[in-house]
Structures are given as structure tokens and as C-alpha cells.
Amino acid sequence: MVNEDDMKRWRDAGHVARRALESIKDEIKPGVSWNDVIESAERYIHRHGGKPAFPTTIAVNDIAAHYTTDHALSLPSCLEDEMVFRKGDLVKLDIGVHVKGAIGDNALTIELGNGNNHTDQIKASKEARDASIEKMHPGTPWHEVGAAAEQVQLDAGFTPITNLCGHQLETFNLHAGTSVPSFACGADNPSFQGEVPEGGIFAVEPFNTTGEQGLIENVPPRHSSNIWRITGDITVKKALVKKKLKPLGATMARYLEERYDQLPFAERWAFPLLKKPFPNENEEGLQSKWNALTKKLINIRFLETYHMLRCADGGMIGQFEHTVWITPGGAEILTVE
């Protein structure tokens, strides 16, 4: 739980995250590449006193979450065309900022062009987020928070996604235990027991879909998001003692640990680190070494990776997100300009 004395860092992170989101959304236009927007967002964060709490992610149409570009701009397996925005796209932009580990996490959805084909879905996504936040007073059962989000979605004619949820935030920890339901999970659901705690910080992010199942699925392969995270399950020192890592692998693991702690990081951030020990290696050789290194670090549970997520039945996905702090009087929104 976070007290008032700690809140300056959290508010600073929230302010930078919100300003980045509002600024970068104007760069999302037909003909612009996804990567240009992603890199622009991350430059904005650094210029304004923060660091990315996770790689900026873009999710278009039926893609729900967890996608950032890799260093080679490889095309995801679920796409057949180049990663360029097009008129009519429904685009989710998710930006996270940390200031010395305090995190601001926010997202929005926009439609490209003036077709107004997704206006109602965008409105429902935003109103579902706000309905959840209004319910987040200390002592409110979590299932009531989820029910508030679901009711808005259903009233507008959309289906809530039931296997994605919001999450608690702690210093250098993006997913810190407690999950925030975004659907009417019911009082007996074992995943959402308990009540909203005073002093907690949460990312609130209901997703909805034009599909009927209300489910998202993984896009193969397992690293399709191009996002990685140090698990904290094993230290570099312990891995060396148990002879699970060779010295070069340990050096690379330390590089990652020093830069990212246990926050998610992008492949395109980490891949260039290989050029330091292998300055004369070509692209093919570096890629082979990266694949071997990450496979080893996953096998010893030092690293984990994420799938890109998409709607299971092909529906269009909408999402809005704020970070909030639970005060005695209710939720204070931290991701504000």
C-alpha cells in the first residue's frame, strides 16, 4: 500500500504517462507506421523525465493487447500486410511510465478517419472504465467493480472480455497480485475475492468486443509480443553457482537486470546489447545468439515472455485505462495531465 508521502513519484509518473498518451495519439494517422508511433512515444517519455514502465504497445482492430515491434520490424504471424495504420482502423495505444519504479499505466482507443463506425464502442469502453473507477471506494467488493463495467458494455450492445482484467501496481511491479475484474464475475468467483483496499494503486482497463464469446486468445509463437520480463525466480549469482549459466550468459543477464529490474522490456531495446560482446557479428549471427540466450534464460526461469493477444472470434476490441490510487473518499485518478 502507498501512503501520501510516496505519492509524488506516482503522480509524476501518471502525469507523464497521460501527457504522452494525449500527445502521441495525434501521430496515429493513415499511412504512418506502427513502429514510428511506438518509438515516438518512448522518446517522449524519456524527454519528459520518465522511463517506459513497459514497451509502448499498439493493438489494431481484433488485436487486444501485448504487441510492440521488434528490432527487425518482423511481421507478426497474424498479419498479412505491413504494419501501417489505415483509414477505418480501431487502434488501442497503451503507454506506461515509471519514475524510480512508481508506475503510471494508461490507454485509449481511437478510430482512424471519419467513418464513425466505432463511435459507440469507443464510448462504451471509456464509460466502462469510468464506471469501475466510481465504484472503487475502500471496502467495495471486487465483484461489484466488475459488474459496473459489464453493465455499461452490455447496455451499449458490446460484450465484455472476461479473460483480461486490471491489475494492482507496486514499485517496479506492473502486476502485483490483486486483479481488477471487468465483468460480472459474481461474489463467489475465487479469482476476485476481497474488497477494494485503501492505499492500493490499480490499473483499471475494461476491454470490450463486437464478438460474442468475450474471450481473447494467444497469437503464436510464445514471444509474439516481442516483450520480455525478468521473473525474479532466480538470481544471476545463483544461476552461476548452480552452473546453469556460462559467464557470457551471466553478463547479458546482468545487463538486463540492471536496466529493467522486473519491468517488461522490448526485444528491440535488449537486442543491441549483444553488439558489445560481438562487435563484428552480422545480423544472422546476432539473431542466432539472441535466440540461444533467451531460450536458456527462459529454461532456467530467469526470463519469461508474452504472447500477443487477439479476440478469439475476430471481434473488434475497445479499451480505455487509468491508474488510480484508493483514498478514504474513493479513487484518485493518477493518469491525468
DSSP state of 275: G
The closest alpha carbon to 3, from 133, 203, 179, 197, belongs to 197
Our CA dihedral for 303, 180, 217, 61, rounded to 10 degrees, sits at -110
pTM (2 decimals)? Answer: 0.96
Q: State residue 65 phi and psi, 5-degree precision.
A: -175, 175
Q: DSSP 3-state assignment of 77?
A: coil
Does the pLDDT of residue 105 top 90, yes or no?
yes
- In a 13 Å sphere around the CA of 320, the CA atoms on its Cβ side amount to 19
Q: How far apart are CA 86 and CA 9, in angstroms?
A: 37
What share of the chain has pLDDT > 90, as a percent?
A: 93
Query: b/e string for 159-172 if b means 16 or more Cβ within 10 A?
Result: bbbbebbbbbbbbb
> Taking residues 274-280, what's their average pLDDT?
92
| Cα separation, 315 vs 62, whole angstroms | 6
Please give the full DSSP string across 232-274, using - where no structure is assigned. Answer: SSS-HHHHHHTT-S-HHHHHHHHHHHHHHTTS-EEHHHHGGGG
Q: Which domains does the chain have, with CATH numbers?
A: 4-218+311-333 (3.90.230.10), 227-305 (1.10.10)
Task: State residue 177's pLDDT score.
Answer: 87
Tens digits of residue pLDDT in 220-266? 999 999 999 999 999 999 999 999 999 889 999 999 999 999 999 99
Q: Given CA atoms 196, 58, 226, 76 in this order, what sign does their dihedral have?
A: positive
State the amino acid at position 242 in one-letter form.
K
pLDDT of residue 129 exceeding 90, the answer is yes
| Residues in Cβ contact with 292 at an 8 Å cutoff, skipping those fewer than 6 apart | none
pLDDT digits (tens, 9 = 90+) for 9-44: 999 999 999 999 999 999 999 999 999 999 999 999
